[in-house]
Amino acid sequence: MMFLEMRGVSKRFGGVQALSNLDFDLARGEIHSLVGGNGSGKSTMIKIISGVQDPDPGARIVVEGREHARLTPVESSALGVQVIYQDLSLFPNLTVAENIAIAQHRGLAGLVKRKTMRKVAEAAMRRIGVALDLDERVSHLSIANRQLVAICRAIAADAKLVIMDEPTASLTRHEVDALLALTLELKRRDISVLFVSHRFDEVLEIAERVTVIRDGVKLGTYDAKDMTEQRLAVLMSGKSFTYETRDRAVPREHPVLSVEGLCKAGEYRDVGFALYPGEILGLTGLLGSGRTELALSLFGMNAPDAGTIRIDGEPVTFRSNRDAIARGIAYVPEDRLSLSLVLEQSIGANVTVTVLDTLKDRLGLLRRRREAGLIRDWIRDLAIKIGTPDDPVRTLSGGNQQRVVIAKWLATKPRVLILDSPTVGVDLHGKDGIYQLVKDLAAQGLAVIMISDEIPEVLYHCDRILVMRDGRLTGEVMAHHVAEPDLRRMVHA
């Protein structure tokens, strides 16, 4: 039985045709994946299903056999449609229970029904086998556990269709596996799932059918078992991508950064390595391996307990990230939406935020012409696709947002660039552009540390790879000397 059918759905925004005569169907209890690049129409389709946007006249939307010309958000929710957006739309200052049962929180005279909320939250978690502290504030949770809260909230709202928009974008491989298992549990509960992701391995692992759209046009719906990652890539982008390991000679005489015996209680211990100008050094490992904690120490935001960090052979102590920046270290964190960008601020303001002090005159006034020139130069040099520099940075695609983050750090003229999961939430075409940008920067002499739990990412885009497990470096290989299965075994051993 089909839960959702869409027929002849189109949507135009001014001169832009976001969707063109799209047909789509989703069965009850089916996991169906929606694949397409940024700007392909995925978000528009989701907003029409959830009632946030109206389709153009002539569309038919059928939910459990009942036809609608359009839906309102209230109608869509009442029909059992729940959307979990990439930002999760949770209330960080409220508890787990309050977030899960937010729709059931008021009683007579507007009083908060706390006992009822706890019962609703407990029932939702029990239904899908989730265990969280109901009294913990959501702001204290990991991204993975916040994702669980969002799913439980959908369950508490009696969801029949859960739409997951890039649900694994900020998760490690271990957390991804747990989320995919939970998605299968939703299916067992006869709940439909529309799974939107750029990660083709997850799409093919979890979905029964895959619908591909490009430039607002549906290219087709395919059985996942008959699909390959390569074919999906070609369908989604209109071009094929081939990757080879990097086999190039990087001079290894004078390291720009070296680490000896670095330790941080409960996080990592006895870490030592060297990084050379022009090198792309991969750092990979599972959840809890200590990768990000180590990176934060190199950026002055997580002081080690022991060991030595050297820049050009000289021991340094970073009391804050300002000290690290002054010595030429730049860090692009994994969560760009929360930690790297001010989404409502302009693209230009986000580019120059790290160097505002250098753009002021003797009176402390901002030299606007110089600022505009700097913004213009970085947008050009990094090929950031924008409308105008005054547009909010939230209007950009994931790939272009990431370029803005990289631009703001390159503006500090770093010698070492640390990239933590640099392509999270970026589509295939955007990823390829970021990889090429990083290689171009390395060719100009910038030393790069690329942190990722995606094996292909470090294997095909780094010169040398360090494997981290349980807070220790457990392996080091040159990328062109190791096969993907062998590197995967090193990580999971």
Mean pLDDT of 263-285: 96
Q: Rounded to whole angstroms, how far apart are CA atoms 299 and 416?
A: 10
Residue 364 DSSP label:
S
Residue 256 contacts residue 416 (beta carbons within 8 Å): yes
For the chain, how far is it from start to end, CA to CA, in angstroms?
A: 44
Supply the pLDDT for residue 111: 54
Q: Rounded to whole angstroms, how far apart are CA atoms 458 and 456?
A: 6
Helix 398-410 vs helix 428-443: angle between axes, to the nearest 10 degrees?
Answer: 20
Residues ≥6 apart with Cβ < 8 Å to 424: 169, 170, 334, 335, 336
Mean pLDDT of 1-7: 94
447 pLDDT more than 60: yes
493 pLDDT more than 80: no
Pick 2-237's CATH classification: 3.40.50.720, 3.40.50.300, 2.40.30.20, 3.40.50.10540. Answer: 3.40.50.300
What tokens appear for 219 in the block? Answer: 């290219």
Residue reference for tokens 């005489």: 253
Which pLDDT band, with edges at 50, 70 and 90, does 108 fall under? very low
The secondary element (H helix, E strand) that includes residue 339 is helix 336-339
Mean pLDDT value across the chain:
90
Alpha-carbon dihedral sign for residues 279, 416, 171, 335: negative
268-275 and 280-285: which strand pairing?
unpaired
Predicted TM-score of the model (pTM): 0.69
CB atoms within 10 A of CB 98: 22
166 pLDDT more than 50: yes
Residue ranges with strand state E in 294-407: 306-311, 314-316, 329-332
CB atoms within 10 A of CB 269: 19
CATH architecture of structural domain 257-492: 3-Layer(aba) Sandwich (3.40)
Which pLDDT band, with edges at 50, 70 and 90, does 199 fall under? confident
172 pLDDT more than 80: no
Mean pLDDT of 46-52: 95
Mean pLDDT of 156-167: 92
What tokens appear for 402 in the block? Answer: 């990431």
- Residue 222 pairs in a beta bridge with 210
Helix 368-381 vs helix 398-410: angle between axes, to the nearest 10 degrees?
Answer: 120
Q: Rounded to whole angstroms, how far apart are CA atoms 178 and 183?
A: 9
Residues ≥6 apart with Cβ < 8 Å to 262: 268, 270, 271, 272, 294, 297, 304, 306, 307, 308, 309
- Residue 310 pairs in a beta bridge with 258, 315
Domain with CATH 3.40.50.300 in the chain: 2-237, 257-492
Mean pLDDT of 251-258: 91
Q: Rounded to whole angstroms, how far apart are CA atoms 235 and 204?
A: 14
Q: Rounded to whole angstroms, how far apart are CA atoms 304 and 297?
A: 6
Percent of the chain residues topping a pLDDT of 70: 97
109 pLDDT more than 60: no
301 pLDDT more than 90: yes
The secondary element (H helix, E strand) that includes residue 10 is strand 2-13
pLDDT 10s digits, 329-363: 999 988 777 778 888 899 999 999 998 888 888 88
Supply the pLDDT for residue 170: 66
Mean pLDDT of 76-97: 90
Say whether 380 sits in a helix, a strand or coil.
helix
Torsion of the alpha carbons at 351, 461, 469 and 424, rounded to the nearest 10: 40
Supply the pLDDT for residue 339: 76
Helices and strands (DSSP H and E) totals, the chain: 17, 20
Residues ≥6 apart with Cβ < 8 Å to 2: 25, 26, 27, 28, 62
Supply the pLDDT for residue 104: 67
Mean pLDDT of 108-125: 77
Q: Rounded to whole angstroms, how far apart are CA atoms 453 and 282?
A: 10
Mean pLDDT of 407-419: 94
Mean pLDDT of 378-386: 89
208 pLDDT more than 90: yes
Q: Rounded to whole angstroms, how far apart are CA atoms 406 and 446?
A: 13
pLDDT 10s digits, 209-223: 999 998 899 999 999
